[in-house]
Amino acid sequence: MIEHLVIGALLTFLVVIAIGIIVLRDLLAAVVLLGLYSLVAAGAFIVMDAVDVAFTEAAVGAGISTILFLGALSFTSHEQKPRGNDSIVAAVFVVITGALLIYGTLDMPHYGSAASPAQTHPELAVRFIERSAGEVGPPNLVTSVLGSYRGYDTLGETVVVFAAGIAVLSLLGLRRRGSPGNLPPEAPGSAPGLTPVPAPHDPAAETSGAIDPATGPRRYARQRHRVLQVVTKLIVPFVLLFALYVQFHGDYGPGGGFQAGVIFASAFILHGLIFGLQRTRQVMPPSVVRMLMAGGVLIYGGTGAVTMLLGGNLLDYDVLAHDPLHGQHWGLFAIELGVGVTVTGVMISLFYAFASRRSDDREPARDADGSTPTGATTGAGGTPRAGDASTPGA
Amino acid sequence: MFDWLVWLVSWALILGGCLFIVAGGIGLVRMPDLFTRLHAASVTDTGGAIVLSLGLIVQAVFVFGSAMAAVKVLLILFFTLFTAPTASHALAKTALLSGQVPVGADGRPVLDSPETAARLARSRPDEDAR
Amino acid sequence: MFAVATIALLVTMVLTLARALAGPTLFDRLLAVNSFGTKTVLLIAVYGFMTGRPDFLDIALVYALINFVGTVAVLKFFELDDLGSGVYQEDDY
């Protein structure tokens, strides 16, 4: 009874938050509410007994997504453009399509029904529940399904994460920050249509020293946040340790490679936020991050190669040790390690890629006829080449 | 006898924690100004979390018999104790820095201008902006 | 006992959500979201005890962390418009 109340309340929150996100025009507030949405969705997953999914949803949706959205917002304005007249035809279309889809779901089995094909097929849920302990071993069924029964799928997911990391790196690159040669030139006041970001040496901003809430944040002078520094230094080691715990405890409770990778990356992201990208790059150089990205996929695929060399099929862990159960144990250990390493590398490199772009790299607004104004800043005009990403380790 | 005592203590702690939290929620809605809301939310959040977690630890140790759960709740407690006040400090500092002026009990702003607020928030107000 | 705690937490979450949607400035919303996150942590812990599964506590710990990181990120972004700058920690030695 109380479970129904909790899940009903959480789902209602989701609807309300979603409406709020759509209605709000301030994009920063929308980003904050999106994080809240992910948090509530993860809570709903927990109440529905999907603990591993909730773990990943919380870590990725509420944490990393917020940070990446903020990184994207730094390239553009913080206010949504005022919407034109909403189209009635579009609304009718959407309603009809939605109604058709809902009509289509009436044929599907009821929520949680024991008669659905996924529950009754002898090779699926029945086999996993009954024979997983004997065939694979770990008490956490999700890990055994994800790692062993559906190992190819997880290999594909890891490669997808890796591909996303490569795509972001090739699009955004990794600028070196702070070195004198690479600082973007002063925003020329003469470029027409440039989004009004005040130049760093704006004397009015210096003397008053305030961020005018009417026009948004300005480049503000140094402010030390001592408390944040101290607290970050205190909690980062524990977060890293907790990430390792989640990685290796994935066999027995909720956890595993994905979640551990995200938490590990969150520690470095927190460090980067508080201490600046330059210092974080000294701790975790971009070259090491690139090696992590590729190394995880190598470990995973390498496990498959090893099993093939030892005579089994691809990712057939039975052949890895003297005894199938031990082999499965070693196989799961290796692939979870691979997944965790790749996810860590990709998340950190995404953060580096977004955070290394300063907001003076904003694209100049286009003129009415679509041509970019001449004399635009080179910061946004030059696409970062992939060569930028090959900065030697700081 | 002992069971009854454990039940009473954990009931008291959990109920007390919930009281804190609900009070904080009401304060968040009804307080007139950002800074008063900040005070209401952060103090009651942390206090309520502490008391509620203590109640859960008592439950974990004596009723569930699981030391692991008790240790985890203790970790959650310590983590919240470190990060919740820090987050509210950071919020208050950034709000003041961006010129939000606290409003007094009579509805008038307490400070002269947003610039005064920003100057107050700076860690070394006697220095120049550079 | 746990049911009472759950209901109290849900009621507070409704109030906090109201502030998150209504709050005039960004800071109100951020405060409400941060507070909501802390309550979610407590709700998961209480729910875990109610259903007798202490595994949920790992998730609660992660939420607390993510809540903190998200709040700090939004604050830094609002103040400096720039996620990677080292200004937060610049000292003069």
Is there a contact between A217 and C81 (Cβ–Cβ < 8 Å)? yes
Q: How far apart are CA A381 and CA B83, in angstroms?
A: 41
What is the distance, to the nearest Å, from the Cα of residue C21 to the centroid of all Cα atoms in its chain?
15
Does position B91 have pLDDT exceeding 80, yes or no? Answer: yes
The beta-carbon neighbor of B129 closest among A209, A231, A238 is: A209
Predicted TM-score (pTM) of this structure: 0.81
Cβ–Cβ of A16/C79 closer than 8 Å?
no
Span A108-148, pLDDT tens digits? 887 777 777 777 777 777 888 888 888 888 888 888 888 88
Pick among B97, B120, B126 to test the A interface (most A CBs inside 10 A)? B97
The beta-carbon neighbor of C31 closest among B37, B48, B97 is: B37
Cβ–Cβ of B80/C38 closer than 8 Å?
yes
Distance from CA of C21 to the nearest CA of A (A): 6
Does position B24 have pLDDT exceeding 60, yes or no? Answer: yes
Cβ–Cβ of A58/C66 closer than 8 Å?
yes
Span A75-118, pLDDT tens digits? 777 777 777 777 888 889 999 999 999 998 888 887 777 777 77
Which of chain B's residues have a Cβ under 8 Å away from the Cβ of A227? 86, 89-90
The beta-carbon neighbor of B18 closest among C5, C25, C61 is: C5
Is A258 exposed, middle or buried (CB count within 10 Å of its CB: 0-12, 13-18, 19+)? Answer: buried
| Residue reference for tokens 């460090």 | A271
Does position A206 have pLDDT exceeding 80, yes or no? Answer: no
Q: Residue ranges per domain, chain C?
A: 2-81
Residue B126, in any domain of the structure = no
Question: pLDDT at position A362, please?
Answer: 47
Residue B130, in any domain of the structure = no
Closest by CA to A276, choosing from A324, A222, A316, A347, is A222
The beta-carbon neighbor of A225 closest among B93, B99, B118 is: B93
Question: pLDDT at position A391, please?
Answer: 40
Mean of pLDDT values over A158-182: 75
Q: Residue ranges per domain, chain A?
A: 1-79, 140-179+222-364+385-394
User: How many domains would you assign to chain B?
Assistant: 1
Q: Looking at this predicted complex, what is its ipTM?
A: 0.90
Q: What single-letter DSSP state applies at residue B34?
A: H
Cβ–Cβ of C75/B90 closer than 8 Å?
yes
Cβ–Cβ of B86/A212 closer than 8 Å?
no
Residue A94 CB contacts under 8 Å (≥ 6 apart), including other chains = none
Pick among C29, C43, C49 to test the B interface (most B CBs inside 10 A)? C49
Which of chain C's residues have a Cβ under 8 Å away from the Cβ of B37? 19, 28, 31
The encoded tokens of residue A238 equal 């524990």
Which of chain B's residues have a Cβ under 8 Å away from the Cβ of C30? 91
Residue B13, in any domain of the structure = yes
Phi and psi, residue B109, nearest 5°: -60, 145
Residue of C nearest to A52 (CA): C59
Annotate A58-79 with b (16+ C-beta within 10 A) or e (fewer). bbbbbbbbbbbbbbebbeeebe
Span C25-82, pLDDT tens digits? 889 999 999 999 999 999 999 988 888 877 788 889 888 988 999 999 998 888 877 7
Which of chain A's residues have a Cβ under 8 Å away from the Cβ of B89? 227-228
Cβ–Cβ of C88/A66 closer than 8 Å?
no
Cβ–Cβ of C56/A51 closer than 8 Å?
yes
Q: What is the CA radius of gyration of chain C?
A: 17
Question: pLDDT at position A214, please?
Answer: 42
3-state secondary structure chain A: CHHHHHHHHHHHHHHHHHHHHHHCCEHHHHHHHHHHHHHHHHHHHHHCCCHHHHHHHHHHHHHHHHHHHHHHHCCCCCECCCCCCCCHHHHHHHHHHHHHHHHHHCCCCCCCCCCCHHHHCCCCHHHHHHHHHHHCCCCCHHHHHHHHHCHHHHHHHHHHHHHHHHHHHHHHCCCCCCCHHHCCCCCCCCCCCCCCCCCCCCHHHHHHCCCCCCCCCCCCCCCCCHHHHHHHHHHHHHHHHHHHHHHHHHHCCCCCHHHHHHHHHHHHHHHHHHHCHHHHHHHCCHHHHHHHHHHHHHHHHHHHHHHHHCCCCCCCHHHHCCCHHHHHHHHHHHHHHHHHHHHHHHHHHHHHHHHCCCHHHCCCCCCCCCCCCCCCCHHHHCCCCHHHHHCCCC
Distance from CA of C19 to the nearest CA of A (A): 12
Residue A183 CB contacts under 8 Å (≥ 6 apart), including other chains = none
Cβ–Cβ of A208/B118 closer than 8 Å?
yes
Q: How far apart are CA C42 and CA C55, in angstroms?
A: 14
Residue B23, in any domain of the structure = yes
Pick among A220, A226, A246 to test the B interface (most B CBs inside 10 A)? A220
Q: How far apart are CA A185 and CA A198, in angstroms?
A: 13
Q: What single-letter DSSP state applies at residue C55?
A: T
Which structural domain range is residue B52 located in?
2-121
Cβ of residue C57 closer than 8 Å to a chain A Cβ: no
Cβ of residue C85 closer than 8 Å to a chain A Cβ: yes
The encoded tokens of residue C75 equal 């604050």
The beta-carbon neighbor of A223 closest among B99, B100, B122 is: B122
Question: pLDDT at position A275, please?
Answer: 87
Closest by CA to C52, choosing from B69, A367, B7, is B69
Distance from CA of B59 to the nearest CA of A (A): 20
Mean of pLDDT values over A353-360: 72
